[in-house]
Structure 1
Amino acid sequence: MTEGYFQFLLKQADTRFEGWDFSYISDTGRMATEPFPWSYTNWVLQELFHSKSMLDMGTGGGEYLSKLLPLPNFTAATEGYKPNIQIARKRLNPLGIEVYEVEDDSKLPFKEAQFDLVINRHESYSPAEVNRILQNEGIFITQQVGGTDNVQLNELLGAPMDFGYAEWKLAKAVEDIKAAGFTNMESEEAYPLTRFYDVGAICYYLKAIPWQIDNFSIETYESQLYKIHKIIEENGYIEVKSHRFIIKAVKK
């Protein structure tokens, strides 16, 4: 059964991924991540309730932002991944939220001091540009994927790692944000464990995040994937270490 089931799982991984929605493997219990010691949403809501103007950077398909209703009277979103833009607009435009396509983090299509709150979950950013579009005493909240996220997947597959990105840690982000003119920072960093309960879930996940392994394909890594499949059959899952950090900063 092992070989046939392995091929079945690989075929399931061909299911289309769109927006920024991992429910195909998370809601079905095929992947589970240990809880973080903080709640990004709680950090956001503490500022959102008195905000009058907010930007969501890297909104994906707008899935997360649409769940934060009611939103400030002026709320906007950006997205840089072209396949997501129409998905986000379809979801957010009816709520009165304009979605702006962004190709350069240092050139956002907004006026100076246009927002009192900027939120960012797992999206790149320019600290100086965020500072420019924030009002004085405005708040920037970002949760980031750290540079050592899930490196065990690379190791298990014998895939090269981006060692330059490995330097992306809380200390570096705080240093950059301070240099851009922010103060009164709160921050946390954590390495929660993520479990994958079948090899198809791993393939689906890696296809959705192409920066983890360049040019990932099932054909290229099939023999290594089969070894992982055997490990999961024996142990019930494989476990890898994630890397996340969160920062809240105030514009001086």
Structure 2
Amino acid sequence: MASTVRDFEDLLTEAEAASVDGWDFSWLAGRAEEERPPWGYARLLAARLATVETALDLDTGGGEVIDEAPVLPPRMTVTESWPPNVALATARLGPRGVRVVTPRADGRLPFADGSFDLVTARHPVRTDWPLIARLLRPGGAFLAQEVGPRSAAELTEHFLGPQPGPDGREPATARAAAEAAGLRVVDLRTASLRMVFHDIGAVVWFLRKVIWIVPGFTVAAHRPALRRLHERIRAEGPFLAHSSRFLIEARKPGRASAAGR
């Protein structure tokens, strides 16, 4: 690709200047690709949202995934903590009647027990299972696509070296935590997916946006490793990594309302 022969400094400058607000990855078009999980989370989410009266989406980003749903519940709420994303979500979802809530400084949410038929999340920062159990009505469901173990480990280890032990994102750990909170896991699926980076600018932009892959990443702090990876891509072709995802659905015991079935 043409971008692989561009100057190292130009690629870094371009990627550092590009916006990483929201949860839109279109900047990577033609520069990086990632396989999609086979279950089609956005489609599953849209189907569920059309069947309930009340729903909450956690860590919604700029509201992009929720906005894909053609039908939203009469009472739809989303949470987001990063101010640029709060503004994006409000502009995108506000006209559809969605309430955008910013968590309190201590992370608490201002919702009463049993407020929602459905709680959802796509790549949440952290899944607070006791909170989800508290917010769900009896018979309600939690549906999430989560980042799995050692996601993009090839990138992490290029910059940080070998990483010892599990990283806390194992599906079995999520199942145990859900059950400990009193929920019943009714679906759990996993996928390992190819990620291909065609130039170092794509790597920089991705690491600026997906901040947990290389915690504390900056171009200044990681310039030598970026240079090595740039030269590797030039010599050997695109850099290959693998993302890890899992889909989990858990239900709260009890009888669901007719609208939430």
2: CA distance between counterparts of 1:106 and 1:134? 18
- Given that 1:106 and 1:126 are in contact with CA atoms closer than 8 Å, whether structure 2 keeps it comes out as no
2: CA distance between counterparts of 1:242 and 1:33? 8
2: CA distance between counterparts of 1:162 and 1:119? 30
Between Structure 1 and Structure 2, how many residues are aligned? Answer: 249
- Given that 1:105 and 1:125 are in contact with CA atoms closer than 8 Å, whether structure 2 keeps it comes out as no
> SS where residue 70 of structure 2 aligns?
coil
1: CA distance between counterparts of 2:38 and 2:192? 10
1: CA distance between counterparts of 2:152 and 2:168? 14
> SS where residue 64 of structure 1 aligns?
helix
Other-structure match for 2:169: 168
**TM-score normalized by structure 2?**
0.88
2: CA distance between counterparts of 1:118 and 1:210? 24
Change (3 A) 1:45 1:95: closer
Other-structure match for 1:219: 220
> SS where residue 217 of structure 2 aligns?
coil
Change (3 A) 1:3 1:219: farther
Change (3 A) 1:2 1:186: closer
Other-structure match for 1:195: 196
Other-structure match for 2:184: 183
C-alpha distance after superposition, 1:190-244 (max 9, x if no partner): 2211111111000011111222223212222222212211221233301011111
Other-structure match for 1:20: 23
Other-structure match for 2:116: 115
Other-structure match for 2:258: none
Unmatched tracts of structure 1, length 5 or more: none
**TM-score normalized by structure 1?**
0.91
Q: Quote the RMSD (CA, aligned, Å).
A: 2.2
- Given that 2:157 and 2:163 are in contact with CA atoms closer than 8 Å, whether structure 1 keeps it comes out as no
Other-structure match for 1:35: 36
Other-structure match for 1:134: 136
> SS where residue 192 of structure 1 aligns?
strand
- Given that 1:20 and 1:60 are in contact with CA atoms closer than 8 Å, whether structure 2 keeps it comes out as yes
Change (3 A) 1:163 1:79: farther
> SS where residue 143 of structure 1 aligns?
strand
1: CA distance between counterparts of 2:184 and 2:31? 41
